[in-house]
Copies of this chain bind each other. A is one copy, B any other.
Amino acid sequence: VTVRQVDVRAGAGDYPVMVGRGLLRRTAEVVAGRVPGVRRWAVVSDSRVAPLHGRIVHSALEAADLALDLLTFPAGERNKTRTQWADLTDRLIAAGLGRDGGVVAVGGGVTGDLAGFVAATFMRGIPVVQVPTSVVAMVDSAVGGKTGVDTPAGKNLVGAFHPPRLVLVDPDTVGTLPRPERAQGWAEAVKHGAIVDAAYLDGLAERAPALLDGDPETVLEAVLRSIEIKAGVVGDDEREAGRREILNFGHTVGHALEAQSGYRLPHGSAVSLGMVLEARLGEALGVTDAGTSDHLARALERFQLPTRLDGPGGAALPDALLLRDKKVRDGVLRIVFLARPGEVAPAPGAPAAWAHPVDRESVRSVLGPEP
């Protein structure tokens, strides 16, 4: 089995992302080699992933006498809560996990965020290994060290930076996902191409059928390139003080659309719409080359992702939702724009600023109802 590796720089020390087919069954040897100080690993998975992949990881660790329990929680974003975090923590304590223990998070973004936050706060922090099994977790959430839970007031309002000690990606797990969920994940990969690598963007569009099918070799190459791109960005700026902001492309509008829908609009669809609309806004403001939004829309449509606000929800995107964005400073909305496909446009003035201040009238003119 060939294993490919990307190293991610982090304040607390670099960590490797290892990508290879069939890696789940080799969890024990990789973990023992890379994080030798940990005596017992607790595996955390949701109720959907535990029987598919969680137990494979747990069995591999058990065979090497490195396993504690396999803990499961009910699947779904609505369980990414402080209550579930406290419950998992108490179960780890009851199982006897100590300061010389660690957590392996096996699953999608919710599992990585929740189990990562459990590890971040367990006896003031124990190692976590991320084993993303969804496309979005592989290309996005498992790398970068963000962990956390939602509160009634909003998503990810409580959390911590807790970089994993190791990320294990087995592209074979993508085959078990429902097809629409795969499509959702590729939206973030398209974003990576859009901000950094036009050839990757076009390559994704070309290979969309195989990627939607979950063909492991095609998935492996795409995931690897996305991780390289994300690792390059977060390695320079772990805590989102500067260049990490470019990963927010598509997300200012995307998050607002998600909130507007009461979180019924899936995240990938929201980001897909957000990228096209932010590109259109950038074109209207003269920051983004003409044709960029159409270029993105064509790529996203290959993944059957939405690119037009024709639905009833699209008629009016209230300013208030946009102004909740974390990049807002002094009440001014700030958005990351592309210069063209594969390249972001630096913000005026500051050499290391990437989010452009935008007046609300311009936003309204673009985000109004379609003709």
Task: Tell me the A residues contacting B by CB distance below 8 Å.
Answer: 11-12, 82, 86, 89-90, 93-94, 98-100, 120-125, 146-148, 151-154, 156-161, 326, 329
A160 to B116, CA, bound (A): 13
- Give chain B nearest CB distance to A193 CB in angstroms: 27
Q: Contacts A159-B123, A161-B124 hold; do A326 and B99 have CB atoms under 8 A apart? A: yes
Which residues of the other chain, B, contact A125 by a CB distance below 8 angstroms? 160-161
CA distance A98 to B154 in the complex (A): 12
B contact residues around A147 at 8 Å (CB): 124
**Given contacts A11-B12, A99-B326, A153-B94, is CB(A121)–CB(B160) below 8 Å?**
yes
Q: In the complex, what distance in Å separates the CA atom of A161 from the CA atom of B148?
A: 16
Which A-B residue pairs are the 8 nearest by beta carbons?
A124-B159, A93-B153, A121-B158, A82-B86, A124-B161, A121-B160, A124-B160, A99-B326
**Shortest CB–CB separation between residue A122 and chain B, in angstroms?**
7
Residue from the set A89, A124, A153, A161 with the largest chain B CB neighbour count within 10 Å: A124
* Chain B proximity of A259: nearest CB distance (Å): 15
Most chain B beta carbons < 10 A, residue from A11, A120, A121, A152: A121
Q: Are A121 and B121 in contact (CB under 8 A)?
A: yes
A149, closest chain B residue (CB): B121
Which of B82, B100, B157, B161 meets A93, CB within 8 Å? B157
Interchain CA distance A93-B160 in the complex, whole Å:
16
Q: How far is the CA of A98 from the CA of B359 in the complex (A)?
A: 21
Interchain CB contact under 8 A, B11 and A158: no
Q: Are B124 and A146 in contact (CB under 8 A)?
A: yes
Residues of chain B lying within 8 A (CB to CB) of residue A152: 90
Given known contacts A121-B121, A159-B124, A160-B160, A151 and B89 CB-to-CB distance under 8 angstroms: yes
